[in-house]
Amino acid sequence: MSRVLTIAGKELRTYLVSPMAWVVATVFLGISGLLFYNIITWYSMQSFQLMRMPQMGGHVNINRMVFQPTFQNMAVTLLLLVPIVTMRLLAEEKRNRTAQLLFTSPVRLGEIVAGKFLAAVALLGGMLLVTVYMPLLVWAYGTMDWGPIFSGYLGMLLLIGAFVAMGLFASSLTENQIIAAVLTFGILLVFWLLGWAAELGGDFAKVFEHLSIITHLEGFLKGVVEVKDVVYYVSVAAFGLFLTHRVLESNRWR
Amino acid sequence: MIQAENLTKYYGDVRALDGVSFHVDQGEIVGLLGPNGAGKTTAMKILTCFMPPTSGTARVAGHDIFEEPLKVKRNVGYLPEEPPVYPELTVQEYLSYAGRLKGLGGVDLKRAMGLAMEKCGVDHVARRLIGNLSKGYRQRVGLAQALLHNPPVLILDEPTVGLDPVQILEIRTLIKDLAQEHTVILSTHIMQEVEAVCGRVIIINEGRIVAVDTADNLRTQMGTSRRILIRVARPSPDLVQKLMALDGVLDVEAEDDGRVRIESQLDRDTREDVARVAVESGVGLLELTGVAVSLEEVFLKLTTEDVDHNVDTAFDAAEGTA
């Protein structure tokens, strides 16, 4: 375990001393902040209008009208940014030949994979944590329910885990960071689009719906933590990490 | 300490190693010598468990590379051809990371880092970013990384590449010192390095071992003649005649400045006779040296023999069809 933390710590440090992580964080927080501002503005206009119709008061729900779309926007932004964060994890080590240090040290492959995974999740989790200012702001000036916020953050963290595992897998396949990023983006987008395919109906609609990375987020955003959703994200992450481990092992034999 | 048995490695269809077997005893410094692409690095990568061989196996420090790779790795320090350093870390951070990967921690790690940095002469750049260091310093940082956990076996892939002459001498001295407690395999294509450092030489060509012996033995075995160089104060044609008449001397060549080169049969030591003749003829013997066939010549002979052979057979085949 200590070696997992050693690797994770070093990776995290590498992130933080490179401008890349800061650019990604800035873009993520900038975009999600901007969209949050738009939603809040729209929400307050709606509330003013609805105030004139007392019978409609029950339909104004700040959790549903503000935080649900905000989390969804963050998820889309992450879809674009996670590949940038994960692309270097293994590709860079292979390109710079530093993989030789890692693979000739008395460290198990699993420990390497786990360390890299944790580092990227920690970085993205840190970015996510900064967005807590949004509910705090609303809480300071209005009334809201913290339950769906907590479950929303839990869902986002699980989503990040699944994204990072896929990114790590793509990074294990190549020495080229750009290829790793594009591949990750492709994989994530396909998982995303499965949700749209599900909406179109057809024989496999139910299968697509269960596979889609976005439909499983909905429950969390409504404040419902369902076992099937948690299992989905955990198993996607575990599958990605397993594939990464297999690729690293098979690379040795070539 | 190291036993390699029948190591064979294919990269796709390309055969990099072909049934390589050798052993290295404790405290030895063995040089892997061979032209580029001979399979030196491949052999080293297999011994360090970076990758497994296609067939064959090896035992390093008493552990099988397939059965107990983690134990092998714990007992091996490896400096790859390109030092595996992270440019974004300082020397200190890098060594601390490498040490923790190798299972060191706390006071042990501090002490090991201090010792390794001192041995490799990088203590005064400890706080600098590796990315800003010159190739020579990076090489030394890589070496410090290999020494860090004081492993019984050191595997160094071209350890002196990219260093300046002073540094090369330093590193060679360091390697020789290390051999007292460590077993060292180093690869190189620099002959002087082998002569200066290695007890034994393994010459590899096209994935096969073509010779294993000490540098001295290789020279005497592979040479076709012995060479003696003398220098006289007053050269005379008479001397050449007398030298030619000696038993075992094949050829004598005199130069104007008083130097005389004598080729004699390989199995005869004619130095005594040559000295006697030179003194008796009163030409004023100033100098007498036995010149050994250089290891370069041995190496060239061993690594190009096969090629000649192939050319010959191709020629024969062409003639046969004509």
Q: Tell me the C-alpha distance between A62 and A145, whole Å.
A: 9
Position B310 scores a pLDDT of 43
- Long-range contact pairs involving B304-311 (C-beta distance under 8 Å, separation at least 24): B305/B210, B306/B205, B306/B206, B306/B210
CA distances from B17 to A106, B154, B210, B226, B293 (A): 25, 21, 12, 34, 29
Domain count, chain A: 1
Sheet of B208-213, strands arranged across: B76-79, B153-157, B183-188, B29-33, B200-205, B208-213
A55 and B CB contact within 8 Å: no
Contact state of A106 with B88 under an 8 Å Cβ cutoff: no
- With an 8 Å Cβ cutoff, are B80 and A100 in contact? yes
Q: Tell if the CB–CB gap between A252 and B52 is shorter than 8 Å.
A: yes
User: How many residues can be counted in chain B?
Assistant: 322
Asked if B73 and A104 come within 8 Å (Cβ–Cβ), the reply is yes
Which residues of chain A does B48 touch, with a Cβ-Cβ cutoff of 8 Å? 104
Contacts of B121 (CB under 8 A, 6+ apart): B140, B170
Return the structure tokens found at B148: 């860090």
Interface of B with A (CB under 8 A): 11-12, 48-52, 70-71, 73-74, 76, 78, 80, 82, 84-89, 93, 97-98, 100-103, 105, 145
Read off the pTM: 0.84
- CB contact under 8 Å between A107 and B49, yes or no, is no
Cβ atoms of B84 and B128 within 8 Å: the answer is no
Which chain A residue's Cα is nearest to B93? Answer: A10
For an interface test with B, the pick among A89, A104, A252 (most B C-beta atoms closer than 10 Å) comes out as A104
Q: How many pairs of residues across A and B have Cβ atoms under 8 Å apart? A: 71
Closest CA to B34 of B307, B311, B302: B302
Q: Does A19 touch chain B (CB under 8 A)?
A: no
pLDDT at B224: 61
* Partners of B204 in beta bridges: B209
CA distance B29 to A103: 25
* CATH architecture for segment(s) B224-291: 2-Layer Sandwich (3.30)
> How far is B100 from chain A, CA to nearest CA, in Å?
7
Q: Is some CB atom of chain B closer than 8 A to the CB atom of A250?
A: no
The whole-number pLDDT of residue A56 equals 65
Nearest residue in chain B measured CA to CA from A101: B84
Smallest CA–CA distance, residue A97 to chain B, in Å, is 6
Residue of B73, B86, B88 with shortest CB distance to A106: B73
Yes or no, beta carbons of A104 and B97 under 8 Å apart: no
Give the C-alpha distances (Å, rounded to integers) separating B244 from A208, B248, B261, B276, B280. Answer: 96, 9, 11, 14, 15
Least Cα separation, residue A249 to chain B (angstroms): 9
CB contacts of A2 in chain B (<8 Å) are 100, 105
Q: What is the least distance, in Å, from the CA of B52 to any CA of chain A?
A: 6
Residues in chain A: 254
For chain B, which residues score pLDDT lower than 50? 307-322
Q: Which fold has domain B2-220?
A: Rossmann fold (3.40.50)
From B145, which residue of chain A is nearest by alpha-carbon distance?
A101
Domain carrying residue A46: 2-253
Residue with the bigger pLDDT between B34 and A241: it is A241
Please check whether residue A20 touches B, CB under 8 A. no
Decide if A97 touches B, using CB distance below 8 A: yes
Q: Is A99 on the interface with B (CB under 8 A)?
A: yes
From chain A, pick out residues whose CB is under 8 angstroms from the CB of B51: 252-254
Determine whether the interchain pair A100/B70 forms a contact, defined as Cβ–Cβ distance below 8 Å.
Answer: no
In this structure, of A139-148, A177-186, A188-197, B287-296, the range with the lowest mean pLDDT score is B287-296
Alpha helices per DSSP H over A131-226: 133-141, 146-173, 177-199, 205-211, 215-222
A-chain residues within 8 Å CB-CB of B50?
A: 100, 103-104, 252
Edge-to-edge strands, sheet with B259-265: B249-254, B259-265, B225-232, B285-291
Strand partners, B180: none
Q: A136 touching B, CB under 8 A?
A: no
The ipTM is 0.87
In the prediction, which pLDDT does B309 show?
46
Average pLDDT, stretch A99-128? 95
Quote the Cα angle for B251-B257-B263, to 5°.
15
Mean residue pLDDT of chain A comes to: 91
Query: Rounded distance, CA B156 to CA B142, Å?
Result: 10
Give per-residue pLDDT as tens, A115-165. Answer: 999 999 999 999 999 999 999 999 998 888 899 999 999 999 999 999 999
Strand, coil or helix: B80: coil
| Contact present, B23 and B175 (Cβ < 8 Å) | no
Cβ of A6 and B70 within 8 Å?
no
- Name which of B61, B26, B31 is nearest B43 in CA terms: B31
pLDDT of residue B251: 82
**Predicted local distance difference test score (pLDDT) of residue B314:** 40
Q: Which two tokens stand for residue B289?
A: 């040296």
Name which of A6, A18, A252 is nearest B100 (Cβ-Cβ): A6
Give the start-to-end residue ranges of the domains of chain B.
2-220, 224-291
**A51 contacts: CB under 8 Å, gap ≥ 6:** A57
- The Cβ of residue B108 has, within 10 Å, a number of other Cβ atoms equal to 13
Q: Does A16 touch chain B (CB under 8 A)?
A: no
Q: Does A6 touch chain B (CB under 8 A)?
A: yes
Each residue's pLDDT tens digit, A6-43 = 999 999 999 999 899 999 999 999 999 999 999 999 98
Q: Are B137 and B127 in contact (CB under 8 A)?
A: no
